[in-house]
Structure 1
Amino acid sequence: MTNDLLGRHRAVLPDWLALYYEEPLEITHGEGRHVWDAQGNRYLDFFGGILTTMTAHALPEVTKAVSEQAGRIIHSSTLYLNRPMVELAERIAQLSGIPDARVFFTTSGTEANDAALLLATAYRRSNTILAMRNSYHGRSFSAVGITGNSGWSPTSLSPLQTLYVHGGVRTRGPFASLSDDAYIAACVEDLKDLLGHTRAPAALIAEPVQGVGGFTAPPDGLYAAFREVLHERGILWIADEVQTGWGRTGEHFWGWQAHGRNGPPDIMTFAKGIGNGMSIGGVVARSEIMNCLDSNSISTFGGTQITMAAGLANLNYLLEHDLQGNARRVGGLLIERLRAVAAQVPAVREVRGRGLMIGIEITKPGTDEADPQTAAAVLEAARAGGLLIGKGGGHNTSSLRVAPPLTLNVAEAEEGAAILENALRSIR
């Protein structure tokens, strides 16, 4: 049955639509932190549909909210008043930390970042964007145009002029040997130098932790230091929280808060986990930025009632059960466990991350050279052991990505770590 489905997939879907595993997996259902495939095999899910099943599979509170809303009305578009959309926007505006915030809902992180770029360029009357090397912001034409990870940038054509800034990857590049303070200072000087050679950009867009790039991050405070430079020149800061938001990093509710000494970003984007599998994305911005567009606009599917009902139920559950705190506690244990294992596996260059957002970088032993074949072998071995994880990486690196639902408990963390240990030891 799976082979038949794979053949049908290949017959009608694009060749560039990536599938994991030598024998691709059909997931048929899930519950809690587990999923099952079409053959009845059970897996501990440490990737959550690319960080999207944020709380749990088949979370009763969310499935109930979706079912009840579906029984009333599923969709009406933004041309009509929409109570669930207003209620979720109120919650997100308050949680964002952005003063006088306005919220616009989309259906994905790609669309959210696309909207953020539209707002920033219109507000600043500039089509120049600063982006981070090794970054990823989505698959639309404009989002691809600012992506700093060549493996996910299929065209060099773009409506934007993009300039890439150094600093998103702490342990690689020309400043890697510096202390954190010296690293930040060097990156700031690099930014100042770059700005001296270009017309005033509209904005800097940055992921607080780079997702597709392999869960890499700068030292805390880098973007705060960047913001000082940007603010002096009127340049906006867009925080891409599509993967880092909602408490996943444990220490903070938003990733930008690790860099927040100068206040919140001007624009923030979100998606993925808030819908717990439903298609929700969005942009938060100060009112004068959000309201700068001088033509009419709507969203047919952004903010539709059924997704908003899911988002409200999911957000309530997350806050009421302190899943941010759980990510900090259980994630901290998981990171330390994986670092202890990695110390005995020469192919692991680094285990990095915070909360339940953990990257394991695989290289050829004793070098900094990427080893994608070995990373793929670990991915396969983990699956064989009953664990689903992700992969990514930039700078010619190969990284495994570990991002379980935020309800992960200690026993499940230990189980997943043991499977990963066996998978990593199998490549020695």
Structure 2
Amino acid sequence: MSHSDLLTRHLAVMPSWMTPYYEHPIQIVRGFDRRLVDGEGKTYLDFFGGIAVNALGYNVPEVRDSVRRQLARGVHHTSTCYLIEQQVELAERIARLSGIPDAKVFFVNSGTEAMEAALLFATTARQSSHVLTLRNGYHGRSFGSNAATSVLGWNASRLSPLQVSHVHNGHQLRGSLAHVPQDQVNAVCLEDLREVIAAIGGGNIAAFVTEPMQGVGGLTIPPAGLLRSYQDELQKHAIPMIVDEVQTGWGRLGSHFWGSGMHEITPDVMTFAKGLGSGFTIGGVVGRPEIIDSVTAKSMSTFGGNPIAMAAGLATVNVLLSQDLQANAEKVGEIIRSGLDELSAGHPQIGEVRGRGLLLAIEIVVPGTTHPDPAAALRLHERVRELGLLVGRGGPYGNVIRISPALNLSFAEAQEGLHIIAAALRSDPSSELDGGVRQ
């Protein structure tokens, strides 16, 4: 079936807000290593990984074999009313890896569900429905997790089961912090947090929710020391910190296994998903037992912790650790980052390159300014696909190109992707190399 025929069927039965990428959307039908094949036979190098989902690429033997062994047993899932050895084993490993003392783990099916559970635990433990979040944060599409989301384009409803207050994320490309001296920005942000806590009352706040790096928000990273100072202030009021590691966990950032390590913080509660499942639906919460165990009603997750997803998760963790893919993410990520930095020097439409490891971003702006240029970002997004590379696109203004390939990406594949991005930039009408600088 052609892409256009499938798109016609998609538009007839899927929600209007569920919009596929590209002017002419494509169907992905097959994957191998770090490459994908669409329904019309074109092969792509994947620099997006299903939004950081496919941490090991595609058709991974270890994951495939682990799932196959589980399927061969003939019992796929009987609900968490029964003991599940694989669930306990994976929980034990995650609890150890988390660094949270005496941690408890609860499995669900996605990052959204994980945040929903984390918010339930924190609001129950604190007997409050007021949460603090960073500006430009994204935490999911359900009612509670969406309430904690402040990116306007991804906030589906202003109705909310929570009271939410937003504090500074420390990003200085534009906005009220743009003209604050860099060595003073943390102090300004911390004072803002203190004022918000004083206005609400520390005892009336259930939790502070943050991403170590803001994904949908454009892959911005709070400046060094900011989240550490935030946590110090929160601890004065016994306010727990929920760290959303859905995109930043499992070694993707290279320098640290968890994004929280980059900020020298220890979460009270941490959410995870995406890369752990290698494409299988998985998510979860790991946290301090007094918070996780605060729920007194009977509860469970019908498919959370199911043996097939757990088999995939265990195999994924084994590969990540045994092949030291965190180190590979750091080394190969530095190649891509260096290449993007070089490109930015010759292309004024690149306003900023940022990120860590294999979670990187290019912010596209009107040359000579910091004004977002979503139209130019859209052209770049389309052009790299035409040239055989898949990347993401996002940010509050839709002007950020997102890069999140598999953690076992090779040096050669990194260079291949960079060459395609460079060629796409050269062919854009706004490129200085083509004499198309805007007036």
Both structures adopt the same fold (TM-score exceeding 0.5): yes
- The equivalent residue for 1:139 is 141
Deviations 1:367-404 (A, max 9, x none): 1211111101000100011000001112x361000111
1:346, distance to aligned residue in structure 2 (A): 1.2
- The equivalent residue for 1:228 is 232
Q: 2:252 aligns with which of 248, 253, 266?
A: 248
Within 5 A, what are the aligned runs for 1:368-407? Answer: 368-394=370-396, 396=397, 398-407=399-408
Equivalent-residue separation in structure 1 for 2:418 and 2:315 (angstroms): 30
- The equivalent residue for 1:53 is 54
1:20, distance to aligned residue in structure 2 (A): 0.2
Within 5 A, what are the aligned runs for 1:29-428? Answer: 29-72=30-73, 73-199=75-201, 200-260=204-264, 263-394=265-396, 396=397, 398-427=399-428, 428=431
Contact 1:271-1:282 within 8 A present in 2 as well? yes
Equivalent-residue separation in structure 1 for 2:99 and 2:300 (angstroms): 25
Equivalent-residue separation in structure 2 for 1:322 and 1:118 (angstroms): 35
1:223, distance to aligned residue in structure 2 (A): 0.9
Equivalent-residue separation in structure 1 for 2:226 and 2:269 (angstroms): 17
Equivalent-residue separation in structure 1 for 2:327 and 2:186 (angstroms): 28
| SS class of match (1:89) | helix
Deviations 1:29-67 (A, max 9, x none): 101110001111110000011110011111110011111
Equivalent-residue separation in structure 2 for 1:89 and 1:108 (angstroms): 16
1:173, distance to aligned residue in structure 2 (A): 2.7
Equivalent-residue separation in structure 2 for 1:311 and 1:333 (angstroms): 28
TM-score normalized by the length of structure 2: 0.95
1:2, distance to aligned residue in structure 2 (A): 1.5
1:179, distance to aligned residue in structure 2 (A): 4.9
Aligned residue-pair number: 425
* Code of the aligned partner of 2:107: F
Equivalent-residue separation in structure 2 for 1:168 and 1:293 (angstroms): 34
TM-score normalized by the length of structure 1: 0.98
Deviations 1:10-43 (A, max 9, x none): 1111000021001101000101110001111110
Matched-pair identity in %: 50
Flag the 1:364–1:32 CA change in 2: closer, same or farther, 3 A.
same
Contact 2:170-2:186 within 8 A present in 1 as well? no
| SS class of match (1:196) | helix
Deviations 1:110-157 (A, max 9, x none): 000000000010000110000111010010011111101001002110
Equivalent-residue separation in structure 2 for 1:108 and 1:205 (angstroms): 17
- The equivalent residue for 2:434 is none
1:167, distance to aligned residue in structure 2 (A): 1.8
Equivalent-residue separation in structure 1 for 2:181 and 2:78 (angstroms): 54
1:168, distance to aligned residue in structure 2 (A): 4.8
Equivalent-residue separation in structure 1 for 2:100 and 2:356 (angstroms): 24
| SS class of match (2:246) | coil
Q: Which runs of 5+ in 2 are unaligned?
A: 432-439
* Alignment pair present for 1:23 and 2:24: yes
Contact 2:242-2:267 within 8 A present in 1 as well? yes
Equivalent-residue separation in structure 1 for 2:314 and 2:180 (angstroms): 44
Equivalent-residue separation in structure 1 for 2:251 and 2:303 (angstroms): 26
1:264, distance to aligned residue in structure 2 (A): 1.1
| SS class of match (2:377) | helix
Equivalent-residue separation in structure 1 for 2:172 and 2:76 (angstroms): 45
1:174, distance to aligned residue in structure 2 (A): 2.2
1:335, distance to aligned residue in structure 2 (A): 0.2
| SS class of match (2:107) | strand
| SS class of match (1:197) | helix
Equivalent-residue separation in structure 2 for 1:382 and 1:98 (angstroms): 41
| SS class of match (1:57) | coil
Q: Which moved more, 1:271-280 or 1:179-188?
A: 179-188
Contact 2:63-2:312 within 8 A present in 1 as well? yes
* Code of the aligned partner of 1:275: G
Deviations 1:134-193 (A, max 9, x none): 010010011111101001002110000000010253433322344554211111111001
Equivalent-residue separation in structure 2 for 1:78 and 1:327 (angstroms): 35
Contact 1:29-1:37 within 8 A present in 2 as well? yes
* Code of the aligned partner of 1:127: S
* Code of the aligned partner of 1:286: R
Equivalent-residue separation in structure 2 for 1:95 and 1:171 (angstroms): 34
Equivalent-residue separation in structure 1 for 2:343 and 2:162 (angstroms): 44
Contact 1:362-1:397 within 8 A present in 2 as well? no
Deviations 1:293-339 (A, max 9, x none): 11100110001000000000010000000000000001011101111
Equivalent-residue separation in structure 1 for 2:227 and 2:56 (angstroms): 28
* Code of the aligned partner of 1:248: R
Deviations 1:331-378 (A, max 9, x none): 011101111011111111001111000010001111121111110100
Contact 2:241-2:269 within 8 A present in 1 as well? yes
